[in-house]
Structure 1
Amino acid sequence: MKIKNLIYSSLMSIIAFQGYAQKAKVAAADKEYDRYAYVDAIATYERVANKGYTDESMFQKLGNAYYFNAELEKAEKWYEKLFDMNQNQDPEYYYRYSQCLKSIGDYAKSDKMMTEFNHKSGNDLRAKLFKSNRNYLDEIKANSWRYTIENAGINSKFSDYGSSFSGNNLVFASARDTGGIAKKVFKWNNQSFTNLYRSEMKSDGSLGKPERFDNRINSKFHESTPVFTKDGKTMYFTRNNFLNGKKKGDSERVTLLKLYKSTLEKGVWSNVTELPFNSDQYSVAHPALSVDEKTLYFASDMPGTLGQSDLFKVKINDDGSYGTPENLGDKINTEGRETFPFISDHNELYYASDGHPGLGGLDIFVAQLSKDGSISESQNVGEPVNGKTDDFALLINGQSRTGFFTTNRSGGEGYDDIYRFTETKKLTCEQELAGVVTDLGDGKLLPMTQVILFDNNFKELQQVVSDEKAHYAFEVKCGETYYVRAIKADYITKEQSITIVRESGKTDLPIALEKAISKVTVGDDLAKSFKIEIIYFDLDKSFIRKDAAFELEKILDVMKQYPTMKIDVRSHTDSRQTHAYNEKLSDRRAKSTIAWLVKNGIAASRLTGRGYGETQLVNKCADGVKCTEAEHQANRRSEFIITSM
């Protein structure tokens, strides 16, 4: 056993020695070939900060570095120093600091930061008052006169309303030959009986003579507001509570409205069934299908309704069953009436309401449905579609932007009439937020960068990766504020805010990332790695100021990491003094810089330097040449050139 262990130990020693020797050769070859080092900016900043130096930008970067890596307790330390130094920060820093405070159990201070965040984000009392007292008539006016309208040419002296597309036919409800009319047909408990009719849509936009839709669908009670699947084989429609020759009423014996489904079998509409979420105690009416036909929208006064009638949606399962109806919420529904929904090919929800600010009666509104299920703020579509009377039941062809709506305005044929319209200008504001990700230092494109979009409350909305040309893009909403975060290995994560203009188009947001790790070699300037433009001295002085010491700490840290590195310190001035004066002043400053580094532990043998005065200007600004302050500033610079590694 001992012999076996000895052989094993010897063998492993030989392998280890050979491996070590090989690694040493590779390391030596790498050092000989590359002659460069990596400078970790974040690590340097932290070491400098731990020595007691303060800088607002440094604290932001340190806090962000830990925050973006979910090390919230560490981030809290630097955000605390940031706010101790300056309370006037952008809103996102209040939000981040609040989350970090929760990580250490300081909920009271976290709540305080969130209150300030809400204030800075525009949710203070003034913002609320402004929102609740906006001049809605001006907004409606801005949305108006985007349509040309005309009588559809199929109206009777009775009610005609609630149309739907079915192939090349327009299907609608009409009371033209079904008896007298007692009440307006859009009220769910009226006693005027309507049937479904259809009219051919001709190539010139006109409509053919109306004819009854199908006697197997039409009954002696109400039928109205159908919607058809794209293949034309399934129809949902509204009817009084009447099925198989039997009429039912609620507890007060009122016959309410229900939704029904029918399928087309060998050219015949059959299999009429009521939907399972109907009830004898409330009405369900006016169906609309989502673009993918997996969701059914409708109007109802079922339990959970906010007002007189609300819009709901329900999932249509693959097996033909249905989910649980969901109220669309207070972005759409009010204490008034919301009814007659329609979903366009562009996922626009059109509906009628008398609860939202309008021009009178029911007005037609539109909201954008997002893929994530959220709904945008509603907008009144304006005149001439809306007017002082009831306007409702709009449907639109997403491609041609033509469609129909119903109105009871004066000048028509009957109680309610169908009008045809053409939209000449889209109301929906469409914006793309896009840009290119580059290296802040050299402008090099940075493909494969992770770019994340957040809303104004820092809820993540979408992630993309920049393409081979370093380009990224998001679809965004007009008028909204977003935060865009870019993440790439070896670079400092960057996040910036952008507010999208309120007009269709494209918003450009270029992102320039700063290297967290810089590659340096002989001949490089360490000042450029840390963006040190100049080591500042008081006027005509050459001793090191506190802010200059902060910059020099970065150089000191790097030289301590690489004990064989040698630096040539070069100080430059602009031309706005005599040549001799500038040369002497810059030389004193270079020597003061070297003396500070030596005093803080760098061997004098590793440092050389001198002042060059105005002899190495980087632009035209020599004596007698008129230049801007920025141009003169470019010549006043400090350089720390690596002469040996």
Structure 2
Amino acid sequence: MRTISRYICIAFVGIFTLTAFAQNGKIQSVKDDYRDFAYVKTSEVLLEVANKGYKSVDLFQKLANSYYFNNDMENASKWYGELMALEEVIDPEYYFRYALALKGIKNYEESDKWMKKFNELKPSDLRGKAFLSKVDYKASIEDLSRDDIEIHNLEINTELSDFGTTEYENGIVFASARGGGRKYRWNEQPYLDLYVVEKTDSSYTKYGEVKGVDGKVNTKFHESSAVFSPNGKYMFFTRNNFFKMKYKEDDTGINRLQLYRATLSEDGIWDEIHKIHFNSQDYSVAHPALNVTGTKLYFASDMPGTYGQSDIFVVDVNDDGTLGEPENLGASINTEGQESFPFMNTNGDLYYSSTGFPGLGGLDVFKSEALDRKIVGANRNFPIENIGEPVNSPADDFGYYENLVTKRVYFSSNREGGKGSDDIYTFEITECEQLITGIVLDKDTSEPIANATVILFDGEGTELERKTAGDDGSFEFDAGCRMEYLVRGEKETYTSDEKRFTTPTKKQDLQLQLLLEKDVQEIEPCDDLAKVLDIPIIYFDFDKSNIRYDAEIEIQKVLAVLTKYPTMNIDIRSHTDCRGPASYNEKLSDRRAQSTRKYLIEKGIAPERLTAKGYGESRLVNDCGCEPSNDSSCSQEEHQLNRRSEFIITSINGQSCDDKE
């Protein structure tokens, strides 16, 4: 059943519109219950009406909403489906709720279809835009999920609602409906109070006696979501609009949520309760979270200027615990949906829950890295990401809290398998380790290169570790998750190769290939420098033999070798394919060979070291001849193999090609 914590969210939404054209008296009989969020009773009556065969937009909207807000997504999706089948004009918000309900039963394909329809009806809605900008959201969430984390349901959970954890001294403070007393009509559970409990062992799963927070914080109405100032002097928390024994409602009869500040007395109890100055009976303000220095407070509200049902705001905290004027975090954080339950870790990363961005269903937890440091001036462009499983699920997941020193995380969820409507879960942040394995290969031969040096760098180029590859060219490094690395392979007489990559969140083995090219190659008489230096075809303009710029770049390689080895002599050979008259091809290729020789002589190579001749089409390297006896249907690529330049070493260091033969 949808829990009190869900009310803490939906109180922002206000009253759903009650139509004046109900089909029969039974629908009207639950009007007050529906308005007061007493959905358990509402659904029973409406279901009786629907099962008798009555159909109407009003009936199906109320019935589906009753299940939706009680977290019964199977029945919610059923009745939203019946609503859609009426093919009547309805508020596009019902398309969005239908999509979320379908996610709740893991029918993601059908959910995506209705999200697209929602976007068609409300193309300016940020939720639809977010969906279309990341239609592959499920793959992205899977990449960010962790399958090496084991979550634990706290032993202090009850069959009632328990949620919203923060650490305090040697224990935790949380909200719970365990207190007894009068029941809240919405889910027939007692009203929430704030409780404290101490840890009894280092596993963070064993706790002592649960007690109510000392002082004047708890009342006969809802309290939840406590946060403590760094100096331990102040506690900010959420409560219904109930102060100094006065219970106030807005003009529609809704009692809103408000923020309060308590001060720790010398006796160790919380008293001197103060209302935050921007509280209002016309909108809700709830779920406070402080940054590590206690200078900024983040919270959720539907105050004027809100994009949707509730947004995340920030406000400066003064030295005396008073607050400045709140500012909306903007459209990169907030949507037309619900954004709530903010938390700021000691690194300045904002965690919060949202229904407006693509997720696994219901409320999902999202993260905006280093937001507290980026929030400068008018900047409100903050990238966010869904933190994935196991924190997120098809149910509502919220109330994220983490301690980066102890590596302990708490979060709340009404997922299947819990003890009650909302439960508190915990896990330890384990270092996600990746194994980088690879092999160093000769690029040309694909043979392993033994004893190569392999170096691991971080994303900024700082060397982390170096190893010597094995006889089979293999290597491996241990690495972290979601970190940028560069791996470089080196070996004498080879040019280096490197791979830059970012490791995934999920633990998996990463396999790399480093392909090293020979940098120093042995040359002998009869070798072709064009092959040694990887010189492609030296192109000339059509029917011309002068050296083009791109050809000059390649000939410079030959010039460099001839300069380095003064005893080397070469024979320049130019070839064509078979197309065109043979006599013409021979003359043209000879002019090109002589042009190449002339160029090298002009660059300082002695004429006697160079010979040159054109062979036309007389020395084809394949069967792409143009005579009737040959196959003339060769492709352009096959003909191109014959259009080549050769630089044959005729002699070097006193050895000639004739001696070798």
TM-score normalised over the length of structure 1? 0.49
TM-score normalised over the length of structure 2? 0.48
